[in-house]
Structure 1
Amino acid sequence: MPLLNESVREAARRSVLCWLATVDGDGQPNVSPKEIWAIADDAHVVVAHIASPVSALNIGQQPLVCLSFVDVFVQKGFKLKGAAHEVCADEPDFARWATPLLAMVGQRFVIRSVLVIRVNSVTPILAPSYRFYPEETIEALQADAAMRAYGVQPRT
């Protein structure tokens, strides 16, 4: 079974942002939100470098990364760990990795490069209620509570 299976893909589709954690050459952490990202295949996630100079620089110094995403309404998601490398726009593989990202941005942003992450571990992220109150915690109730907390009206 692939690491980036259908449940991971579905959770990714429901998540607006992901958070990419990198580390610089001195071991200092950096966490940055990423809006344009996608699961590219069964083993890779791609992130558009639109305004990510620190993330790209850190990956050049230390390729180990962690990317996480959560559906804020059902309060579930995944933490993906792996090794990343940067593919610049003038490199032959750029089109391969950038294709799903270019479809997302259209003409809105320029993708400077693609941060390609080869995922080696996937861990679920769950709100504590799912663990401590499993019999009474269901996604629909979590989503209702989150919508009330955020002042969001469901679509009709």
Structure 2
Amino acid sequence: MTLLTEPIRETARRSVLCWLATVDAQGQPNVSPKEVWAIADDCHVVVAHIASPISARNIAQQPQVCVSFVDVFVQKGFKLLGAAREVHAADPEFATWAKPLLAMVGQRFTIHSVLVVHVKSVAAIVAPSYRFYPDDTTEASQVQSALRRYGMGSYKK
């Protein structure tokens, strides 16, 4: 079953960061921005462990995670719930999972391991304006609002 459809993949491509939420053995949550991540296939997201010791430790203790990402201009995105595991550089499957991440970083960062998330469910994230003001809110109006807020001239989808 394809959970990570083309619209989800397209939003992921337009999202600079994702946010990985984990929880430790005592139930303390941790949310961490991740710069190097990708949708690997129809049901997996891969995240590079570059500087993520807390995320990796938490996943070893409690695999349930949430990955969220948003196109900040359109102000829409997705929340992915699933179970994660860490694949170390010495593991035979590392090269397969790390391939899209290594293509992103080249020699810029060392990827210590890959956090592989098996996605179990997907939910849309939308700015409240879409729900509370549906007649006045469009993707174009949200983009224009974001451009003004960020002091930018244009945006390409």
Q: TM-score, normalised by structure 2?
A: 0.97
Which position in structure 1 is the counterpart of 2:45?
45
Structure-2 separation of matches of 1:102 and 1:22: 23
Letter of the 2:48 counterpart: A
Which position in structure 2 is the counterpart of 1:125?
125
Q: Where has structure 1 moved over 2 Å in runs of 4 or more?
A: none
CA contact (8 A) 2:143 2:155 kept: no
Which position in structure 1 is the counterpart of 2:145?
145
Structure 1 residues 155 and 5: alpha-carbon distance in aligned structure 2, compared to 1, 3 A threshold = closer
Structure-1 separation of matches of 2:82 and 2:153: 37
3-state secondary structure, aligned to 2:117 = strand
Tell me by how many angstroms 1:2 deviates: 1.2
3-state secondary structure, aligned to 2:41 = coil
Q: Are residue 101 (structure 1) and residue 127 (structure 2) matched?
A: no
CA contact (8 A) 2:38 2:47 kept: yes
3-state secondary structure, aligned to 1:124 = strand
Structure-2 separation of matches of 1:51 and 1:10: 26
Letter of the 2:116 counterpart: V
Q: Which runs of 5+ in 1 are unaligned?
A: none
Structure-2 separation of matches of 1:111 and 1:95: 11
Tell me by how many angstroms 1:133 deviates: 1.3
Which position in structure 2 is the counterpart of 1:111?
111
Choose 129-138 or 22-31, whichever is displaced more: 129-138
Structure-1 separation of matches of 2:134 and 2:2: 27
Q: Are residue 91 (structure 1) and residue 113 (structure 2) matched?
A: no
3-state secondary structure, aligned to 2:129 = helix
Structure-2 separation of matches of 1:85 and 1:155: 36
3-state secondary structure, aligned to 1:123 = strand
Q: Which runs of 5+ in 2 are unaligned?
A: none
3-state secondary structure, aligned to 1:154 = coil
- Deviations 1:71-129, CA, capped at 9 Å, x for gaps: 00010000000000000000000001000000000010000000000000000000001
Tell me by how many angstroms 1:153 deviates: 1.9
Letter of the 1:4 counterpart: L
